[in-house]
Structure 1
Amino acid sequence: MKKWVVLIVVLGALVGLGTMMKAWMERRAGTGVQPAVFTGGSEHWDQNEVPVSMQCGACHEKEFRQWAGSDHAWAFRKLGDQWESEAFHNMKLSAHGSVLQFSTDGQGRTVHDGQANTSWRAEWATGRIPLVQYLVPAKDGGYHTLSAAWDVNRKEWFDIFGKEVRQPGDWGHWTGRGMNWNTQCAWCHMSLFHKNYDPVKDRYASTWKEPGVTCIQCHGPLLDKPEAGTGCMISTKNKLTPQQIHDNCASCHARRDEFDHDFAVGDRFDDHFQLVLPVQPGVFWPNGMQRDEDYCETGLRLSRMGKAGVTCLDCHDPHTGTLKLPQEDNTLCMRCHGTGEAVNGVKAPVIDISKHTPCPQPTMGARCVECHMPESLYMARDPRRDHSFNSPDPLLSVELGIPNACTMCHRDKSNEWAAEAVKKYYGPDPKMAKYRDRTRAVQHAYEGKEDVLPLLMECFRKEEVGAWRATLLDLMDSWAHEPAVQELAAGAVNDPDALTRAAAAKVMGRANNPSAGKLLNDPLKVVRLQAEWALRDSLPPDSPGMKELTAAALHQADQPSGAMKLAQIAISRKDARAAEQWFAKALKWDATSSVVHRDYAVFLASQGRSGEAVEQMREAVRLAPRDANLWYLLGLGQIENNDEPGALQSFDEALKIEPAFIRALFNRALLNEKVGRLEQAIQDLENCSSLDKENPDIPFTLAVMLYRNGRYRDAAAAAAETLRREPRHAQARQILESASRHGK
């Protein structure tokens, strides 16, 4: 009997061992039915909502726990009593001319808008500290993000736009397209998100794999079944480079436009996104510092740190998202700058903190980050550090109004005091002086100063940082028809920086330079799209370039900007009906945008509908009365409608706003002559000539006007000035000879 018992036990053990071996073999082969999952507890809001990441946690427990308490893990979550009970306990907020009330009932959390007398059910939350925003469903199958946010520390509601008033119907109101979660927020708050917008139905059917930024968003690609040999749901064969990892971070931590939702781990950022550079006022400061909500990537690309190869993970832990070392005592920065340690092959300059700053140790002013990464508030209450790593230069604050870290700390002192302190400590030619001309050039380009082009070109030629070359070249777009600018752009076709090549395509396209076609086959989409846009009038409808351009625009078709692009593409295809339909959508979605009304007016004028065009331009001027160019365009439209008094008034308004507006002066001069105001016309052209001392067309026009009105001696002088500017000007020579004979 005992022998049978022993035999049964042995057989049972063998069966158990066989089962274990089978399970082990199935796991190695990737055929197991039930993959192992993380079974412990964590700081995650509900780890059962991230089943794929739970599988990762089975083997990578330490990393899973670190991630579970991070802002990435809490980037998107369901609502819960432990977090929302106080915020939705009959709280109120007055904003945008209305009173919002937040309450809880048996169905969940409710937001009531008193002005619209409408209630919404809050369904999701984004963020955790220092603020939380809530999502409510929209009629189009998407979600809207409230501009009202809950301050976790102060225990109160506030509006992220501060005192700025946004009305229902505005693109930027929280019920408008500007606060549509599916387009504006979701890709960076979800894992493997796809917008799935249907432009015909104007509806969303968005999908995602896991809420929040989980394992599969930063590691990949996600496999259909566990990997053979490891059981991992993410391939372990792909070893990413530091730049690939950085591009993955940048896909969210950047102010950018999307071309698609196809970005995958290991892809190039510039193949899926257009990074926003400091090429227009109000977004960045002209030295590259963040001004609006700009995130990190642009600043880093503009910086010498970025050029040296510093990436996110040199300073930040990939799983907690926190800093690897303390910043308060400069340990983080001095890890490299105290030792000269090489980062990605580039040695950091060694800095002696005791001599590097006039601020005494261990005050806040002696912290590296306080000077080179000052904090600013965004979303009204969210402090974020600048990543352009600028050195504070109070002299430029005095000249251009740029903030500097000195007076951001010493709030009781003036910029003049700070500038003198910097000069006294560092001498008359400090290191930051090297970048002053570049900053001045950018600011003067913002202001439209006609004489800034030589400085822009000089700065471009000596610039080492690719993103700055792209910025400077893009700012030359206003002078795209200048041969020297075209020469620079053509030379940038082979620039190693993708954004510089893209800027070259834009500038060449503006002047119909066929050299832009060389970039249609660029390896990166950010360059190809710019070339395709520049050459869209000549691209066949079924060409790869036109298809790629249209696909990128369709990805943005749920926003006014995308609708405007599709309208322009339709114009290129000579499909006026489709263009009008897309313009109508843009006007519906952003009725308070002067740009939409302006571009629609230009389209109407091209269709011979000048009366409608003027009405659209009048609306544009009403919405942006301080925009001189809109008044100028209105004047041109009024000339088409034979409204000469109205056109003169519009040109006058443009010149009140911008007295050196040469095109407005020039056209007013022609109109003044037409209505019999010859002296005013001559004065306008003389003012044009003094503002632009190189353009031969201005004195030539003056010569023709004077000659036509019998002012031969003056006409001869104007013709002579034309020939001084352009010695080969045959018509000017004819006027000079004829006027000289008449003058005798």
Structure 2
Amino acid sequence: MARLFQWDWLCKFKLNNFVVNCFAVLFVSGFTVDNATAQSIEYVGSGACVDCHTEQVKAWRGSHHEMAMKHATPESVMANFSDQKLEHKGKSNRFFRKGDEYWVNIAGADQQFSDFKISYTFGVYPLQQYMVEFPDGRIQLIPFAWDSRPPEKGGQRWFHLYPDTTPVDEFYWTNTGQNWNFMCADCHSTNLKKNYDTKADSYQTTWSEINVGCEACHGPASGHIDYVTEHDGAKPALHSDGLMGFERDLTVSVKQWVAKEGHKTLQPATIKPTDQIQTCAQCHSRRTQLNETADHVKGSFLDKYRLSLITPELYYHDGQIYDEDYVYGSFLQSRMAEKGVTCTNCHEPHSAKLKIPEEAVCSQCHVSPEYTSSKHTLHSEGTEAAKCTTCHMPETTYMQIDPRRDHSWHIPRPDISKHINTPNVCTGCHEEKTDQWADKTLAKHFPNSTYRNQQHFGVAFYADSIGHKAAPDALSYTAQDSSLSDIIRASAVLRMAGNTGQNTLVALARAVKHDSELIRLGAIEGSSGYGWPERWQILSPLLTDPVLSVRTETAAALVVHWPQMNLQQKDSLNKPLQEYIEIQQFNADRGFGRTNLGNVYRAMGDVDEAVSWYQGAIGIEPYFANSYVNLADLYRSQNEEGLALEVLQQGMKAQPNDSALPYSAGLAYLRAGEMQQAKSLLKRAAEMAEGNSHYWYVYGLALEKTDVLAASKAINTAFELSGNPQHLYAQCEVLARNYQIGEVAAAFEGCTQQLGKMVPPEIVSQLKALIRG
């Protein structure tokens, strides 16, 4: 049973004329704490705020924060549990009650239908989820959610959130992707301590409040209460200290917005950094938690969280949201962030709703009448299409019914969309039209626009994704463009991974010295194209970086060269490497954490410890493919090819949907000379991965000795996917080596003609020389 702490307030006492709610009882599932422990806790609970902050508490009641998580009671449960049934894949799932308890009958980890008690609610609108607590302390979100929207919007129904998931998917409800302790708890409860036991693979998670209470944002309030009681209601003295016993300054950064010549929008008179953005970013960001001890507000955000940058998995090439980013990554791209806008300029902090009507939010600063005219919006006033948010904050729907707005406030750029296949709001509404039409329309209405046809970082990101020869230099220039936001520049540096040109080196040299911790962070992965000792020369200064994420990621990147290091270098690596190990131990409830530990110990030559961590990763998360791949590679390096294949076969059985496993197994059979098995598995990997050009390339090379034309076709698929001329060259080279066979000659001529359009003539001449040779 997990220790699930909830403060409840049963009485009040009066201290120096200040009424305070007392710490009456700490309700625990099967546990109690002594009075000394309770009195020493710095978190006092939202109940202590009610008497003095009635308006704020009133706004908070019923909000997404207050309803973030609750015990399952008639007051919190919104769904219909009156013996309701929902058919899914031909089987009936039942939602019912046993007295005051809420239950579901659904398939568990073993695919057998069982009854599970609902212990907690999760969220409120437009859907509410429900959670089951297991004896080992795990709390898991069931796959069915309640659509809490009104009936006229399609709501008041049960539905399956992830209808295509299977038991080997991360997001199957009993697996780690739906585990509250790791995935959700840090944001949905206050003063959360995960308390994961690595050896027992169990949790004893605690909180001071079950939901997002006052102190989740303001920080522990005992100092505030001490401060207020000390001043005994003397208001002038009380407000002489702006923080009044709190450590966080949650005010806006810009106190006054003023009109300035040459600007259509109001500009900040001054920008005073506050703690508001980093406070909100704790939960409103896509990130990995590193620890529970660092102060991400008063210190660096990256001391406690590893923020995800603008990667293809999360964002489109132009920075628009693709997967959920929870706002912060988008916001950092924006001009708003640059100008000192903070969350509460638009949102009321306690209700989390807009502070004023939507149509008035933007006009707080965008005061020019032209912004509201149909000449600017291109749509009739008062319509949905004429709203600022429709064009500048488009919605993407997640979890089937939950629309989220993009907070990067992009200017619509169909001129870019038509080249790099990014979405734009024009054709998002006018689905029957093309990007070319949208571009011409905007050109007609905004002939003097400074945005249209303006250079955009998205082109460099797209070029990199297709392996274009100009991509390395384009990324280097983007990384050094001071007009861009730090997160975009950091992402450009990150995407330089594998590049080694002169411009890449210059960009990296500047990145590791940059004031922005994000840019320094991006440089670590961006330098991965360099081997030893060049990478040490580039990155070693970051081993003493003041920011935890930067120095620990640097240590992880350099430890792979451990055997080549001298004693002094190893010594300088030890401290940040130990911090990196502590981060992975904190995340040892996930396969990636244990696999990362295995990687460290393997690099340092401790094979037994590495094997133990890899096997541990497989044990707790058998559907995590990387652990099998890394363990098999370790065995291969020890000349244990048989063990390597056993591990890969085990992995393919446990996780049949991951292409990396058959690919690695195919390479293993290839090394063993067992060509038939190798070709079969490499083909399977390439077809599963679909867009992975490298898999098709390797599969094509494996086919060369048995079917030249099939090999040519496979390598051509790699070229079509990547657009990389090197793949086309490889295809021509295979045909050249086998020129005398059947129909190969004609295929070679076609291949070299296509290649000749992309490379200097001497390259084609070299290929033709292979035939004569």
TM-score (norm: length of structure 1): 0.77
* Shift in alpha-carbon separation, 1:480–1:362, aligned structure 2, 3 A: same
Aligned to 2:747: none
- Over residues 149-203 of structure 1, what are the superposed CA-to-partner deviations in whole Å (9 max), with x where a residue is unaligned? 1112221111222xx4222343211111111111111111111111010101111
* Shift in alpha-carbon separation, 1:449–1:100, aligned structure 2, 3 A: farther
What SS class does the counterpart of residue 121 from structure 1 fall into? strand
Contact kept in structure 1, 2:473 and 2:504, CA below 8 Å:
no
Matching of residue 289 in structure 1 with residue 320 in structure 2: yes
What SS class does the counterpart of residue 67 from structure 2 fall into? coil
- Over residues 217-240 of structure 1, what are the superposed CA-to-partner deviations in whole Å (9 max), with x where a residue is unaligned? 111344379415536999625462
Larger radius of gyration: 1
Aligned to 1:79: 72
Contact kept in structure 2, 1:143 and 1:180, CA below 8 Å:
yes
Matching of residue 474 in structure 1 with residue 475 in structure 2: no
Contact kept in structure 1, 2:495 and 2:526, CA below 8 Å:
no
Matching of residue 441 in structure 1 with residue 441 in structure 2: no
Aligned partners of 1:317 and 1:482: how far apart in 2? 49
RMSD: 4.4
Matching of residue 52 in structure 1 with residue 53 in structure 2: no
One-letter amino acid of the structure 2 residue matched with residue 471 of structure 1: S
Aligned partners of 1:96 and 1:557: how far apart in 2? 34
Higher share in helix: 1
Question: How do residues 180-195 of structure 1 correspond to structure 2 at under 5 angstroms?
Answer: 180-195=179-194
* Deviation for aligned residue 1:58: 1.9
Matching of residue 337 in structure 1 with residue 335 in structure 2: no
Aligned partners of 1:684 and 1:104: how far apart in 2? 59
* Shift in alpha-carbon separation, 1:403–1:256, aligned structure 2, 3 A: same
Aligned partners of 1:151 and 1:663: how far apart in 2? 42
* Deviation for aligned residue 1:444: 3.7
What SS class does the counterpart of residue 158 from structure 1 fall into? strand
Contact kept in structure 1, 2:475 and 2:496, CA below 8 Å:
yes
Aligned partners of 1:667 and 1:450: how far apart in 2? 24
- Over residues 24-51 of structure 1, what are the superposed CA-to-partner deviations in whole Å (9 max), with x where a residue is unaligned? 8x539xxx9x83579xxxxxxxxxxx96
Aligned partners of 2:106 and 2:694: how far apart in 1? 49
What SS class does the counterpart of residue 116 from structure 2 fall into? strand
Question: How do residues 241-280 of structure 1 correspond to structure 2 at under 5 angstroms?
Answer: 242=253, 243-264=274-295, 265-280=297-312
Aligned partners of 1:355 and 1:165: how far apart in 2? 45
Aligned to 2:116: 120
* Shift in alpha-carbon separation, 1:424–1:603, aligned structure 2, 3 A: farther
Matching of residue 591 in structure 1 with residue 622 in structure 2: yes
Contact kept in structure 2, 1:170 and 1:591, CA below 8 Å:
no
Q: How many residues align?
A: 659
What SS class does the counterpart of residue 227 from structure 1 fall into? helix
Name the stretch that deviates more: 547-556 or 222-231: 222-231
Aligned partners of 1:679 and 1:417: how far apart in 2? 40
One-letter amino acid of the structure 2 residue matched with residue 266 of structure 1: K
Matching of residue 93 in structure 1 with residue 86 in structure 2: yes
* Deviation for aligned residue 1:209: 0.8
Aligned partners of 2:691 and 2:146: how far apart in 1? 47
Contact kept in structure 2, 1:520 and 1:532, CA below 8 Å:
yes
Counterpart among 393, 413, 422 of residue 393 in structure 1 = 413
One-letter amino acid of the structure 2 residue matched with residue 35 of structure 1: V
Contact kept in structure 1, 2:468 and 2:723, CA below 8 Å:
no
Aligned identity (percent) is 27
Aligned to 2:542: 519
One-letter amino acid of the structure 1 residue matched with residue 159 of structure 2: F
Counterpart among 61, 64, 73 of residue 68 in structure 1 = 61
Contact kept in structure 1, 2:69 and 2:123, CA below 8 Å:
yes
* Deviation for aligned residue 1:625: 7.7
Aligned to 1:172: 171
Contact kept in structure 2, 1:227 and 1:235, CA below 8 Å:
no
TM-score (norm: length of structure 2): 0.75
* Deviation for aligned residue 1:57: 2.1
- Over residues 71-114 of structure 1, what are the superposed CA-to-partner deviations in whole Å (9 max), with x where a residue is unaligned? 21111112222453752111122346753211011251111115
Aligned to 1:27: 16
Name the stretch that deviates more: 301-310 or 491-500: 301-310
Aligned partners of 1:236 and 1:454: how far apart in 2? 51
* Deviation for aligned residue 1:252: 0.2
Aligned partners of 1:98 and 1:487: how far apart in 2? 60
Aligned partners of 1:534 and 1:139: how far apart in 2? 38
What SS class does the counterpart of residue 518 from structure 1 fall into? helix
* Deviation for aligned residue 1:372: 0.7
Aligned partners of 1:595 and 1:432: how far apart in 2? 43
One-letter amino acid of the structure 2 residue matched with residue 528 of structure 1: R
* Structure 1, gaps ≥5 residues long: 1-22, 39-49, 341-349, 707-723, 726-734
Aligned partners of 2:406 and 2:508: how far apart in 1? 30
* Deviation for aligned residue 1:142: 2.2
* Deviation for aligned residue 1:550: 0.8
Aligned partners of 2:245 and 2:349: how far apart in 1? 17
* Deviation for aligned residue 1:382: 1.3
Aligned to 1:321: 352
Contact kept in structure 2, 1:407 and 1:414, CA below 8 Å:
yes
Contact kept in structure 1, 2:44 and 2:220, CA below 8 Å:
no
What SS class does the counterpart of residue 440 from structure 2 fall into? helix
What SS class does the counterpart of residue 278 from structure 2 fall into? helix
What SS class does the counterpart of residue 317 from structure 2 fall into? coil
Aligned partners of 2:710 and 2:103: how far apart in 1? 68
Aligned to 1:497: 516
- Over residues 707-726 of structure 1, what are the superposed CA-to-partner deviations in whole Å (9 max), with x where a residue is unaligned? xxxxxxxxxxxxxxxxx99x
Aligned partners of 2:21 and 2:730: how far apart in 1? 78
Matching of residue 236 in structure 1 with residue 225 in structure 2: no
Aligned partners of 2:112 and 2:676: how far apart in 1? 43
* Deviation for aligned residue 1:504: 0.8
Aligned partners of 2:694 and 2:168: how far apart in 1? 36
* Deviation for aligned residue 1:694: 9.5
One-letter amino acid of the structure 2 residue matched with residue 521 of structure 1: T
Contact kept in structure 2, 1:220 and 1:235, CA below 8 Å:
no
One-letter amino acid of the structure 2 residue matched with residue 141 of structure 1: G
Aligned partners of 1:326 and 1:676: how far apart in 2? 67
Aligned partners of 2:709 and 2:168: how far apart in 1? 47
Aligned partners of 1:446 and 1:417: how far apart in 2? 26
- Over residues 666-706 of structure 1, what are the superposed CA-to-partner deviations in whole Å (9 max), with x where a residue is unaligned? 89769968x9999999x999x99x997899x999x99xx99
Aligned partners of 1:110 and 1:159: how far apart in 2? 16
Aligned partners of 1:81 and 1:209: how far apart in 2? 22
Aligned partners of 1:232 and 1:215: how far apart in 2? 22
* Shift in alpha-carbon separation, 1:554–1:215, aligned structure 2, 3 A: same
Aligned partners of 1:219 and 1:354: how far apart in 2? 42
* Deviation for aligned residue 1:649: 6.2
Question: How do residues 254-653 of structure 1 correspond to structure 2 at under 5 angstroms?
Answer: 254-264=285-295, 265-281=297-313, 283-327=314-358, 329=359, 331-338=360-367, 351=371, 353-427=373-447, 431-435=451-455, 437-449=456-468, 451-462=470-481, 464-477=484-497, 479-508=498-527, 511-512=530-531, 513-514=535-536, 515-537=538-560, 538=562, 539=570, 543-614=574-645, 616-617=647-648, 633-644=664-675, 646-647=677-678
Contact kept in structure 2, 1:423 and 1:430, CA below 8 Å:
no
Contact kept in structure 2, 1:510 and 1:534, CA below 8 Å:
no
What SS class does the counterpart of residue 123 from structure 1 fall into? strand
Contact kept in structure 1, 2:66 and 2:212, CA below 8 Å:
yes
One-letter amino acid of the structure 1 residue matched with residue 527 of structure 2: M
* Structure 2, gaps ≥5 residues long: 1-12, 24-42, 150-154, 233-242, 254-273, 563-569, 739-758, 761-765
Name the stretch that deviates more: 650-659 or 444-453: 650-659
Contact kept in structure 2, 1:199 and 1:558, CA below 8 Å:
yes
Aligned to 1:157: 158
What SS class does the counterpart of residue 600 from structure 2 fall into? helix
Aligned partners of 1:218 and 1:127: how far apart in 2? 18
* Shift in alpha-carbon separation, 1:111–1:652, aligned structure 2, 3 A: closer
* Shift in alpha-carbon separation, 1:626–1:451, aligned structure 2, 3 A: farther
